[in-house]
Amino acid sequence: MLSTLLLPHRLTAAAATSPTRSPLRVLAAAAGMSSSASSSSPHGGRKPNRLAAEHSPYLLQHAHNPVDWYPWGDEAFEKARAKDVPIFLSVGYSTCHWCHVMEVESFENEEVAKLLNDWFVSIKVDREERPDVDKVYMTYVSALHGGGGWPLSVFLSPNLKPLMGGTYFPPDDKYGRPGFKTVLRKVKEAWETKRDALERTGNLVIEQLTDALSAKASFQDLPNDLADVCVDQCVEKLASSYDPKFGGFGSAPKFPRPVEDYIMLYRFRKLMEAGKESEAQNIKKMVTHTLDCMARGGVHDHVGGGFHRYSVDECWHVPHFEKMLYDQGQIVNVYLDTFLITRDEYYSTVACDILDYLRRDMIGKEGEIFSAEDADSAEYEGAPRKKEGAFYVWTSKEIEDALGENAELFKNHYYVKSSGNCDLSPMSDPHNEFNGKNVLIERKPASLMASKFGKSLDEYSQVLGACRQKLFDIRSKRPRPHLDDKVIVSWNGLAISAFARASQILKSGQTATRFNFPVAGSNPVEYLEVAEKAANFIKVKLYDASSKRLHHSYRNGPSKAPGFLDDYAFLINGLLDLYEFGGRIEWLLWAIQLQVTQDELFLDKQGGGYFNTPGEDPSVLLRVKEDYDGAEPSGNSVAAINLIRLSSILDAAKSTGYKRNVEHLLAVFETRLRQLSIALPLMCCAADMLSVPSRKQVVLVGKKGSAEFQDMVAATFSSYDPNRTVIQIDPRNTQEMEFWDSNNTNIAQMARSSPPGNQAVAHVCHDFKCSPPVTSPEALRELLNKTLAAASTAA
């Protein structure tokens, strides 16, 4: 598969295949540019172009360019065919730093605009709104150059076949690199003199990509060793790339890639079950050290909560400052799992930090969760340029003026210096963009620093929290980074999962825990309400009940783009978590229906696996079976785990079909799982989950609203077990009993036969047998822990 050829680049220079700046930042600096190129100046009275009618924040950012932009669609295609000229396709997203740079340098430039308007039909695409279009041409550019990134700049024939392309182009030739104006002239010349050859090559490329990215597999049983081989191999490769000093897997730039931590924790559990405690503890240490370094580093927003996109250096210090929703939801779940394993409330507090940031800054009036916050902002009102990180960095004097007598303590704790603190690595700030500025970082544990200042840890932490509150209030008066308030179904699905899981997992923490700003210290039940409101927004605004289909995104109305595989798979995962952790049957019913629709739209029934698009839009030239678990997991990996979870909920007739689809899916990617498992960590876990003979079931029967029942739910989720399914059922609820009578009579019978007179009864079933029912949280916790101990002893 073509993606195999691209993987070494993806893993060694992840910045090239994620929304990033690093490779281009160095280039731009060499060309004498500043990273402050984003303009906050008005558009000079220019009339708006066609993009003014669009809803996407990214497209609206370009609505007053002198370039005669078109949105992706028939009007643009027909114009190119009528004029018989190539199409210039520019793909980016609203919080993309280098997209802003190219806009200011080229798309705001009258000379460049005239060349584009005279020689091309120019189309602007928001990659977050149309990931299907982006996927086609990013795959082409990555195959052409060994990597890609945003902004994506591609020249197409009028029939949409790629002719040539790249990423960021400076406006003029410098240091041996062609400028954008030169590129435009060369493309025009080639179109006029070598058109036939260009079009033949474009057609051939699409044919080759189609073959490479739509792998098929015969319907066959999977080899017995696949699960063990791919999980072990993936963990070994990650361990070999582990940074023992600063944590993380690989070198700078360092991206949070939560699927890496997920498979490490998954392997930890398997090793504990096998009685290999020493090996398990080594793996756990890699994860905990990584999460510690991330949370203490500048990639974590200490003042406002949440995590930035990635760190440009090896020590998680100086970040690329944008904040993406898809990161927040996944990172929360990793910290929650680590809390369950370690019982260290440091990890649960970091999870709350992220969730409270989302609640405060990223949720709309109807419960919808927004997409991203930009890296760039103005240093002051009316500033002619935006600068990256301006909202987040501090001078030493600003902190002294704000914090008074506590300034010295705070500066010591967060390594604040009058000269600026971006000096921990040569990669942190190689071009002195943050000279005199400080990105807060905790270089030593709070317990050590508290002793230095003669304070108890609790008193010291309270002082720091009060200081962060003051800085937050001051920061709130600064010009804010742009908020992309687009609502994307897939990313909301990831966040729904995090909020739902936190609502129960956090109950197992110490009730006397004191929280300090920016953690709000909310009742965990409130997190469940957030998850349900977000799910309800999608159901009301982005789901067509008659066709049973999703739209991909929402801003001032649903987008034109249909729901893609990731939207269905990520949302189903979130809904299953909403059901398991919250108990409302309606979310399970909707998840099952969405799975039916997903299979109808995306499943390759003959070849196995899921395509990324429905295949109904003729302007999208590729249907890809994506397998790479990157910054976001692949839709196929998440879909495989969803099917395994559903198979453990429903009866054998339905369960068998789900499992066969998983087997066929894994067969499609078997070679990749064996040869490049490090690219597919979540799919490796799915393969192992499928190999488990009998997934553990915890069936909770009783009055769901009662305190006794909720205590039993919390006890169920007080331990880490990725191979557990939880079913909540109230035998007095007619709708629920009808569902179970139709879909799993064993569960229905279990509910009816539970001991009467109890508000809550738990049945634990594993290895094809069920333990006697228990009626107290303590007994349930003991029973769940016994199964792990028993597995360890048996091994």
Q: Do residues 179 and 270 both lie within one domain? A: no
Q: Do residues 185 and 291 both lie within one domain? A: no
SS (H, E, C) 277-343: HHHHHHHHHHHHHHHHHHHHCCCECCCCCCECCEECCCCCCCEECCEEHHHHHHHHHHHHHHHHHHC
Q: Do residues 106 and 206 both lie within one domain? A: yes
Residues in the chain: 795
pLDDT tens digits for range 700-730: 999 999 999 999 999 999 999 999 999 999 9
Using N-to-C axis directions, what is the helix angle for 635-647 and 681-691, rounded to 10°? 20
| Domain assignment present for 38 | no
Cα(795)–Cα(791) distance, rounded to whole angstroms?
Answer: 6
Cα(252)–Cα(425) distance, rounded to whole angstroms?
Answer: 10
Q: Do residues 289 and 389 both lie within one domain? A: yes
Pairing of strands 319-320, 310-311: antiparallel
| Domain assignment present for 408 | yes
CATH of the domain at 168: 3.40.30.10
| Domain assignment present for 639 | no
Residue range(s) defining the domain that contains residue 739: 697-788
Cα(374)–Cα(388) distance, rounded to whole angstroms?
Answer: 9
pLDDT recorded at residue 466: 98
Pick from 452, 480, 508: which residue ends a domain? 480
| Domain assignment present for 462 | yes
Look at the chain and report how many structural domains it folds into: 3
Q: Do residues 405 and 311 both lie within one domain? A: yes
Cα(111)–Cα(119) distance, rounded to whole angstroms?
Answer: 12
| Domain assignment present for 779 | yes
Cα(684)–Cα(640) distance, rounded to whole angstroms?
Answer: 10
Q: Do residues 469 and 380 both lie within one domain? A: yes
Which parts of the chain have pLDDT scores under 70?
Answer: 1-45, 219, 510-512, 787-795
CB neighbourhood size of 23 (10 A): 17
Q: What are the φ/ψ torsions at residue 628 (nearest 5 degrees)?
A: -75, 120
| Domain assignment present for 134 | yes
Using N-to-C axis directions, what is the helix angle for 489-505 and 345-361, rounded to 10°? 140
Contacts of residue 507, defined as CB under 8 A and 6 or more positions apart, other chains included, come to 524, 714, 717, 718
Question: What CA–CA distances, in Å, run from 378 to 119, 454, 650?
Answer: 35, 40, 54
pLDDT recorded at residue 471: 98
Q: What are the φ/ψ torsions at residue 319 (nearest 5 degrees)?
A: -95, 165
| Widest CA span in the chain | 86
Pairing of strands 376-378, 386-388: antiparallel
| Domain assignment present for 545 | no
In three-state secondary structure terms, 673 is helix
Question: What CA–CA distances, in Å, run from 618 to 77, 160, 232?
Answer: 12, 10, 42
Q: Do residues 204 and 254 both lie within one domain? A: no
Q: Do residues 89 and 183 both lie within one domain? A: yes
Q: What angle do CA 25, 318, 7 make, to 5 degrees?
A: 60
> Which one, of 751, 758, 714, 756, lies nearest residue 733 by Cα?
751
The token pair that represents 320 in the structure block: 């690329």
Q: Rg for the chain (alpha carbons), in Å?
A: 27
CB neighbourhood size of 750 (10 A): 22
Cα(532)–Cα(500) distance, rounded to whole angstroms?
Answer: 8
The token pair that represents 20 in the structure block: 């990033």
DSSP 439-485: -----S-HHHHHHHTT--HHHHHHHHHHHHHHHHHHHTTSPPPPEE-
pLDDT recorded at residue 789: 58
Cα(222)–Cα(666) distance, rounded to whole angstroms?
Answer: 8
Pairing of strands 162-166, 121-126: unpaired
- DSSP-assigned beta bridge partners for residue 319: 311
Cα(308)–Cα(315) distance, rounded to whole angstroms?
Answer: 14
Cα(288)–Cα(311) distance, rounded to whole angstroms?
Answer: 18
Q: What angle do CA 445, 449, 453 make, to 5 degrees?
A: 165
User: Is the omega angle on the peptide bond into residue 253 within 30 degrees of 0, that is, cis?
Assistant: yes
**C-alpha atoms less than 13 angstroms from C-alpha of 94 in its C-beta half-sphere:** 23
Question: What CA–CA distances, in Å, run from 497 to 173, 444, 598, 616?
Answer: 48, 32, 19, 30
Cα(344)–Cα(29) distance, rounded to whole angstroms?
Answer: 43
| Domain assignment present for 520 | no
> Which one, of 265, 454, 482, lies nearest residue 373 by Cα?
482
Q: Do residues 162 and 279 both lie within one domain? A: no
Q: Do residues 297 and 393 both lie within one domain? A: yes
Cβ–Cβ < 8 Å for 683, 634: yes
Q: Do residues 281 and 159 both lie within one domain? A: no
pLDDT recorded at residue 258: 98
Cα(229)–Cα(231) distance, rounded to whole angstroms?
Answer: 6
pLDDT recorded at residue 25: 30
Query: pTM higher than 0.85, yes or no?
Result: yes
Pick from 448, 480, 512: which residue ends a domain? 480
Q: What are the φ/ψ torsions at residue 280 (nearest 5 degrees)?
A: -65, -40
Burial of 447 (0-12, 13-18, 19+ CB in 10 A): exposed
The token pair that represents 578 in the structure block: 């909403």
Q: Do residues 299 and 386 both lie within one domain? A: yes
CATH of the domain at 719: 3.40.30
Pairing of strands 87-92, 323-324: unpaired
Give how far the C-alpha of residue 210 lies from the chain's centroid of Cα atoms, to the nearest Å.
Answer: 26
Cα(27)–Cα(416) distance, rounded to whole angstroms?
Answer: 29
pLDDT recorded at residue 665: 97
Q: What angle do CA 53, 59, 62 make, to 5 degrees?
A: 100
Pick from 480, 511, 542: which residue ends a domain? 480
Cα(581)–Cα(525) distance, rounded to whole angstroms?
Answer: 11
pLDDT recorded at residue 34: 32
